[in-house]
Structure 1
Amino acid sequence: MKIQGKLFLWLAVFMLAMAITYGVWSKEPAGTTALVLAFGLSVMIGFYLAFTARRVDALAQDDREADVADEAGDVGFFSPHSWQPLSLAVGGALAFMGVVFGWWLLFFSLPMLLVGLFGWVFEYYRGENRTQ
């Protein structure tokens, strides 16, 4: 994780340099603001990864002598047939269309967003105090 933290912190330095250069040359506030926000996001991610890297064991990617197969194994559990991302995507699309066409559209998108979000988070929690 150390290399990812360094990568994002270097990306933050680059974004700051580009934000300053773009802001001075173009004098356009929207692009400058976007680059400054990208700088902030890169700093947050880089700081988190660098902070977390001190608390976890060294991974294979931190070792220069490691092979690709050293990091092989299970990545995690992913639901094979979930409809919740579709509901969340449709609700999100309607919410963003509400910004364009009218805020009244948020009344239809908010229930879809909530159903998709809660359904996805609690998809495998059925019954009382189920842990598996």
Structure 2
Amino acid sequence: MLFLWVKAFHIMAVVAWFAVLFYLPRLFVYHASCDDVAGRERFKIMERKLYRGIGAPSMILVWTLGAWMAYLNWDYYKTQGWFHAKLTLVFLLTGYHHMCGAYVKKFARDFEPPSHVFFRWFNEVPVLFLAAIVIMVVVRPF
């Protein structure tokens, strides 16, 4: 029963984390297109609060609860190829999360951002991760 409780909270943390990973790069699109000082300042606040207030805590919860689930059933998970592939994807997604954090810091320092078109493409990356991770967990192709 403990495993199911941990799994439920893990899924909630994943949903919160992906909400940030979908919305934060969208804010970057708007921020990169913004021409007025007041608007740019507003985006800085929104980006910082989203990343630090929701993004980082939810990512930490995803990793903590995921590690707890793995610990509870390690004999099973250690032999599953899909699990190792999923962990690799989550590790790479964590790198994407930190890239977002780097952009939050750069925007806070008023750097000259890449075009909004770059951020429109950057915004699509978490969709690919989500699809691949869900397939690993649900389909378990190997």
Class of the TM-score when normalised by the shorter of the 2 chains: 0.3 to 0.5
Q: Which has the higher contact order (CA 8 A, sep 6+)?
A: 2
The structure with the greater share of residues assigned to helix is 2
> Which structure has the larger Rg over C-alpha atoms?
1
